[in-house]
Each structure stands twice: as C-alpha cells, then as structure tokens.
Amino acid sequence: MLIATDLDGTLVPDGATTVPSYTAQVLRRADDAGVPVVFVTARPLRWMDPLWPHVGRHGRAIVSNGAVTYDAGAREVVHLAGIDAGTGLAIAAAVTEAVPSASFALECLDGMRLDPTFDEPDPTPPGTPRGPLDEVWDATALKVLVRYDDRSPSGGDHTAFHDAVEEAVGDRATVTWSVAGLAEISAVGVTKASALTRLCERMGVVPADVVAFGDMPNDLAMLSWAGTSYAMADAHPSVVEVADHLAPPCADEGVARVLAGLLDQVSGEVR
C-alpha cells in the first residue's frame, strides 16, 4: 500500500506550516509499518521545508502540481518538467487575448517572477523579479499562475475565467486550479497523477495499491488514477463526484483517521 495525499485542505489546513499532532502520530505509525506516504501538492518546493520531517524514511514528495519530484533525504530534485519561455510567452499572449485583465506569475525552482500587476498575497523575498514577462522569464517555469481582476465585466465568475484560460491554452499545456480565480498552468501532460505514476513505477507500486486523498480540482487526475480514492467531506463537488469514498473534513484530521483505520486492517492481516 502507498498513500498519496494532497496537503492544503486535505492533510493540513490551508497554508499550514506544521502537521497536527494526531496526524503526525499516524504518519509515524505508517512509516514504522513500511507504508510510504507521499505528499502530492501544488505547493512550491520553497514552502515544504517545515514538512519534510513527516515524509518518512522513503523521503519522496511531489510538488508544484507534479512538475517536481523531490528526494527530501538527499535534498535533490529527482524529476522536473516545466515550461520554457518561448512556449510560455505564446501561451500568456493567448490567455491575455481571452482574458484582458489577466496577470501572471512564474513559479521557478529558485522562486517567483511576477508581472507588473500580479497580486501575490504571500510574502516574497526582497529582490523577487517583477516586470514584463519577456524580461523576467529567465528560467524554466514549473507553473504559470494566472489571476484576473474581479472588477472586470465578468465580475466574480471564476468558472468562466477558468474555462476561458483552458480554452486559450488548448493542448499546449495543462490547466488546473486549486484556488478560485487563480489558474495554474503546467507543462503538457504534467499533473499530480503523471508524477505519481512515474514515482510508483520506480518504487514498484501498482495503481491498485495506491490510496489517494484530495479536495480540489487539481487532485482529480490523481484520484481517478489511484486504486482507491478519498475526497474530503468538504471537498469541491467535482472531487466528491470522482472519489470512491469520503473522508472526514481536514479540520477533523480526516486523512489521519482514515489512514489509522487502514493501518489497523494491515496490522490485522499480518497477525
């Protein structure tokens, strides 16, 4: 068995830098039982340091919606799939034509690049490049983030915004989202599922032995791929529709509670 779990809104509260005590206890129990737990998240690598102690002895995680597979023990990138400037600038131009109020940011291994109007709610280090995309796009982008102005004629119609971005991008990249009003663009074919598939093949784990947890549309591909899938009780409706089961809410440490039950089953079978 291998557990693949999203982080924000699934394993931990949105934006958390610590793991709740009961969840940490269950993760240690899984590691002791030889059951790997892989964090599969939209978070960038730079937000993961406080969570590495909880990945267990296997030490693997998938970040940036599948763009990066990381070995936490060795502190090295195992696999990277991103968007180059030539491809990305053409995509950004198409998105801007479809959504004139769109603004862009690039998530790269060494940090962000922001266009002049992108509103980044989280603090960025001093000196984070900000300027026209064709001037700041100097590295492979793991994700291209697209925001739009809620004061535009479409107002707060986030569904229309996401649909417009997806149509503009077409088959040149992969579009998903985990926050309303923010589209996340990855390289062609890059999803949480594609990275998890590659990692499981290396570990000799088949899909039937994978149990996955998620709460937002960027988890859909992973949940559909896994042999067993759980949506959090308060997940997005599209996730609830796809998942095999419901887990208790994130606030009730639902992943840990389900995982504890699964470990009890494994322990009983061993006896």
Q: Which residue ranges form the domains of the chain, and what is each CATH number?
A: 2-80+190-269 (3.40.50.1000), 85-186 (3.30.1240.10)
Q: pLDDT above 90 covers what percent of the chain?
A: 87
CB atoms within 10 A of CB 56: 20
Q: pLDDT per residue over 229-257, tens digit each?
A: 999 999 999 999 999 999 999 999 999 99
The per-residue pLDDT of the chain, averaged, comes to 93
Q: What CA–CA distance (Å, rounded) separates 39 from 51?
A: 9
Q: What CA–CA distance (Å, rounded) separates 46 from 111?
A: 7
Beta strands 228-232 and 245-247 are parallel
CB atoms within 10 A of CB 98: 15
pLDDT at 270 over 60: no
What pLDDT does 155 receive? 47
What pLDDT does 268 receive? 63
Read off the pTM: 0.93
Q: Is 24 exposed, middle or buried (0-12, 13-18, 19+ CB in 10 A)?
A: middle
Q: pLDDT per residue over 15-35, tens digit each?
A: 999 999 999 999 999 999 999
Band of residue 149 on the pLDDT scale cut at 50, 70, 90: confident
**Nearest partner of 249 among 223, 230, 271, 268, judged by Cα:** 230
pLDDT at 117 over 90: yes
pLDDT at 36 over 50: yes
What pLDDT does 181 receive? 86
pLDDT at 76 over 70: yes
Alpha helices in the chain (DSSP H): 21-32, 85-98, 133-136, 158-169, 192-203, 220-225, 237-242, 254-270
CB-side neighbour CA atoms (13 Å) of 63: 23
What pLDDT does 217 receive? 95
Q: What CA–CA distance (Å, rounded) separates 140 from 106?
A: 9
Band of residue 269 on the pLDDT scale cut at 50, 70, 90: low
151-168 residues labelled b (16+ CB within 10 A) or e (exposed):
eeebeeebeebbebbbeb
